[in-house]
Chains A and B, each alone.
Chain A
Amino acid sequence: MKLRNIQWILVLALLTTALSACSSNKGNGEASSGEKVTLTISRWAGPHADDQKELLKQFEQETGITVKMDDVDYGQLQQKQTLNMSTKSGEYDLVWAQEIWIPEYIKSGYLLPIDSYVSNEALNPQNFDFEDYSPSLLSILTSDGKLYGLPTFIQLPIMVYNKDMLDAEGLKAPSTWDETLSVAKHFRDKGTGIALPAKQGQAAVDIFTSLVRSNDGDYFDSDGKLALGQPSVAEAAAFWQQLAAVSMNGSANWHYDEVNKAVQSGQAPLGITISGLAGSLEDAEASNVAGKIGYAPLPYAKQPYGTLSVWNWCVTGDSKHPEEAYRLAAWLTSKGTEKALSQKNGQIAARQSLFNDADLVKQFPFFPAVGESLEQADTQPLDPNAPKLMEKLQTALSALAVGSSEPQRILEQAQQDLQSVYP
């Protein structure tokens, strides 16, 4: 009967589709030896990624290994990396991971220790000079005596100011808290103010950590217990609130990119941005203020202190080509490649010799400011409960920036909310 025929055709169609799906999966999984090796790397999208893609062509020429870059927006980067590495599919060979993710990744077994590769001369580029890597940054990547990656890209928040606009008002570039407040207030009265990335998020907390530490303080007291109510922190919170009060309109919803745009367009006389974006301020084609910007460490109470964030190339635990992946990581973090990348867009590498390289400093006037901030700098707390502390601080700082609440009370409230995590 007609119906029965159609029934069988449908069943056959379904089965065929199902079978073909199975077989095509198997085909992708195997890679016969002697075939061209393709590495997939995961990193943050943007102009730096594009510049790196250009340089990767050189690597492909030298080694014959093809590199595919999966560059994603920062907001989705960690989730995508975690999802791929947790399924152990070998999807990614090399991941570009921020220091705050590293302890998690190591604990979850996502990363491969690379000590054996580091000592293998055949895999390292010429003039590798392992000692040139900043030791404090390497320690972040070391756990149980094993090294899990190579540090590459450092980011710090820095303060920028428009020299012309300040000179026109007869003002000196600010460096301490009081100086910054008075300059910002001067401009606020005229309608602008300081461009602050005060959106509820990690940027504000990174800046705040700098402020606290520049005031000789920390989130934890000398016994290692969480002490958000201590004077050094409360003073920093009060300064943050005052700074937000003299910030440009809309700062409460700005992240670094909006701040950068405000400075780039010549509207902001003062701003706090991230070193990774500072290069675009000097780009003559995109920026209205190239050559007019001065750079300084973040405003400090007692002495400058930087909150640094360092990105690292790590070989994944499930990579099918770990040796080639390490080779790529070593090449990407070699002095030559890092200098080339820095010259392209001003990004700062973890290679100590490059901080004061004459060519780079001439091209990027903000390198000395970064160097100064790095003299005393540290990452955010890296213990496993730190994300909860960061979240509470994000909310607290946003509340301080938009409201008139008492800093001390807000900090004590945050401390209380965290009691279950930090007793």
Chain B
Amino acid sequence: MTRSNRSYLAGFLVLPAVAVVFLAMIVPLGYAAVMSLFDFQIGRENSGTFVGLKYYIAFFQDSVALHSLYITLAFTVIALALELGLGIGIAVLLSGIPERLSKPLRAIYSMPLLVSPIIVGLIWRYLYDPTFGLLYQWLGAVGLADDFGGLAKPGSALFSIIVADVWQTTPFILLVVTSGLSTIPSEVYEAARMDGAGFLRTLVRITLPMIGKVILLLTLIRGTDAFRVFDIIYALTNGGPANSTMSLSILAFKKGFEQYEMGYAMAISLITMLILIVLFAPLVKRSSFMVKE
């Protein structure tokens, strides 16, 4: 086959996949962008009135919307930090103990990954309930039951949700980091040990830099997921108490389906996407894992 024939063939074979991406992602995105300029309710798209950038401007003037942006950022930063820290930490620790122990342990730690997010929400809702839940029984046993607000106080509700989210997502980080760690040749560790490097120095100077690309990838995946958090907040507190756990996705949901302002909901979703691009695009650029070395 000549070179030009081969590239035509390649283009033709890729066409179905491109068509799917275009139809399932680009077209709805374009539709959302256009419809966010209209005031309409779901089901009545034809009778929407053109309002231009009203919703985008309204978003930055609405204290509830700005507060939800703040909450979403706080959730993303704290949850991501905890998940990465715990995931990498457990992975590194498990890699240091004999296989017979680490294999079953890793399996046990990976179990939360198998549960669907809404069920995780329900499990934790009952764990956190002061009258019916296990958590308060344990806290009561050590006399701390009154100090922890749980899901009922604005200050602690977000933290409680973060704990539930960390519980669910750390296994994913654990598994990916474990596979990343397996690519580090053992000679490097032997050399480090012979040079007298301790556990912490090995970790900081050798392990982490060598799985740097993996961590970058995880930050990208997990960070964008955390920013768009919905299921677990919906199941646990539905945005309350007093809007203290209202993330951008929950706000968009309420605006679109409970307030009948679908245009506003779409504007919020697009703003979410734009913020994500601004925050994470540098990461994508920096990561050379996509390019052949």
By a beta-carbon cutoff of 8 Å, the part of chain A in contact with chain B is: 1, 3, 7, 10, 14, 78-79, 82-83, 85-86, 104, 108, 110, 199-201, 248-253, 258, 261-262, 267, 387-388, 391, 394-395, 398-399, 401-403, 417
Which residue of chain B is the closest to A248 with respect to CB atoms? Answer: B131
Tell me whether A403 and B42 are in contact in the complex, defined as CB-CB below 8 angstroms, given that A248-B131, A387-B259 are known contacts.
Answer: no
Residues of B within 8 A of A86 (CB): 42-44
B97 contacts the other chain (CB 8 A): no
Smallest CB-CB A-B distances: 4 pairs: A86-B43, A200-B240, A249-B130, A252-B152
Residues of A within 8 A of B64 (CB): 395
Q: Is B237's CB within 8 Å of the partner chain A? A: yes
A83 partner, pick from B43, B125, B150, beta carbons under 8 A: B43
Q: Which of B9-17, B191-199, B278-286 contacts A (4 or more CB under 8 A)?
A: B9-17
* Bound form: Cα–Cα A391–B246 in Å: 13
Are B241 and A250 in touch, CB under 8 angstroms?
no
A245 CB to closest chain B CB (Å) equals 12
Q: How far is the CA of A138 from the CA of B288 in the complex (A)?
A: 67
Residues of chain B with a CB closer than 8 A to A395's CB: 64, 240, 242-243
Question: Besides the contacts A82-B257, A398-B241, what 16 more A-B pairs have beta carbons closer than 8 Å?
Answer: A85-B43, A104-B41, A200-B242, A200-B243, A249-B130, A249-B131, A253-B128, A253-B152, A253-B241, A262-B131, A387-B259, A387-B260, A391-B258, A395-B242, A402-B152, A402-B241
Q: What are 14 sample pairs from A and B whose C-beta atoms fall under 8 A apart?
A: A7-B12, A200-B243, A250-B129, A250-B131, A250-B150, A252-B151, A252-B152, A253-B128, A253-B129, A267-B131, A387-B258, A395-B64, A395-B240, A402-B242
Any A CB within 8 A of the CB of B205:
no
Q: Determine if A108 and B43 form an interchain contact, defined as CB atoms under 8 angstroms apart.
A: yes
CB of B42 within 8 A of CB of A83, answer yes
Q: Does B201 contact A (CB under 8 A)?
A: no
Most buried by A among B41, B136, B152, B240: B240
Contact A399 B241 (CB under 8 A): yes
Given that A253-B237, A388-B259 are known contacts, is A403 also in contact with B44, CB under 8 Å in the complex?
no
Chain B residues near A104: list those with CB within 8 A.
Answer: 41, 260
Partner of A200, one of B44, B130, B239: B239
Interface mask (B7-49 → A, CB under 8 Å = 1, otherwise 0): 0010011001000000000000000000000000111100000
- Complex alpha-carbon distance, A327 and B243, angstroms: 45
**Residues A201 and B238 in contact in the complex (CB < 8 Å), given A108-B43, A253-B152:** yes
- Given known A-B contacts A86-B44, A249-B131, A267-B131, A401 and B259 have beta carbons under 8 A apart: no
Given contacts A14-B16, A253-B152, A267-B131, whether A391 and B259 have CB atoms under 8 Å apart is yes
A399 touching B12 by the CB < 8 A rule? no
Q: How distant is the Cα of A208 from the Cα of B240 in the complex, in angstroms?
A: 17
B240 touches which one: A14, A82, A201, A249 (CB < 8 A)?
A: A201
Q: Binding site of A, secondary structure by majority: helix, strand, loop or mixed?
A: helix
Residues of chain B with a CB closer than 8 A to A267's CB = 131
A7-B13, A78-B257, A252-B152 as given contacts; A401 in contact with B241, CB under 8 Å: yes
B254 — nearest CB in chain A belongs to which residue? A391
- In the bound complex, do residue A258 and residue B129 qualify as a contact, i.e. CB atoms below 8 Å apart? yes
Pairwise interchain contact B242-A250, C-beta atoms closer than 8 A? no
Distance in angstroms from A82 CB to nearest chain B CB is 5
Closest to B260 in A: A387
Chain B residue contacts of A417, Cβ below 8 A: 63
Query: CB-CB < 8 A to B70: which residues of A?
Result: none
Residue from the list A108, A201, A250 in contact with B152, Cβ < 8 A: A250
Q: Mark B214-240, 1 if CB is under 8 A from A, else 0.
A: 000000000000000000000001111
Judged by a CB distance under 8 angstroms, whether B103 is at the interface is: no
Q: Give complex CA distance A304, B125 in Å.
A: 34
Complex contacts, B128 vs chain A, CB 8 Å? 253
Residue among A7, A200, A391 having the largest count of chain B Cβ atoms under 10 Å: A200
Q: Is the CB of A402 within 8 A of B44?
A: no
Nearest A residue to B153 via CB reads: A402
Which A residues touch B129, using CB under 8 A? 250, 253, 258
The closest CB in chain B to the CB of A387 belongs to B259
| A401 contacts across to B, CB distance below 8 A | 241
Identity of the chain A residue whose Cβ is nearest the Cβ of B42 in the assembled complex: A82
Asked if B132 is at the interface (CB within 8 A of a chain A CB), the reply is: yes
Tell me the bound Cα distance from A104 to B259 in angstroms. Answer: 11
In the complex, what residues of B have CB within 8 A of residue A10's CB? 13
Quick one: closest B residue to A104, CB to CB?
A: B260
Q: Which residues of B contact A7 (CB under 8 A)?
A: 9, 12-13
| Nearest CB in chain B to that of A390: its residue | B258
B180 in the interface (beta carbon within 8 A): no
Q: Which residues of A contact B259 (CB under 8 A)?
A: 387-388, 391
Residues of B close to A200: CB separation below 8 A: 237-243
Docked-complex contact A199 and B238, CB < 8 angstroms? yes
Of A82, A250, A258, A394, the residue contacting B43 (CB under 8 A) is: A82
Chain A nearest CB, measured from B254 CB (Å):
7
A199 touching B43, Cβ below 8 Å? no
Which residue of B has the minimal Cβ distance to A247?
B152
Contacts of A388 in B (CB 8 A): 259
Chain B residue nearest to A3 (CB atoms) is: B9
CA distance A398 to B136 in the complex (A): 22
Closest A residue, CB atoms, query B47: A108
B154 part of interface (Cβ distance < 8 Å): yes
**Contact residues in B for A110 (Cβ distance below 8 Å):** 43
Instruction: Kindly supply a per-residue 1/0 record for chain B positions 240-281, scoring 1 wherever the CB is within 8 Å of any chain A CB and 0 otherwise.
Output: 111100000000001001111000000000000000000000
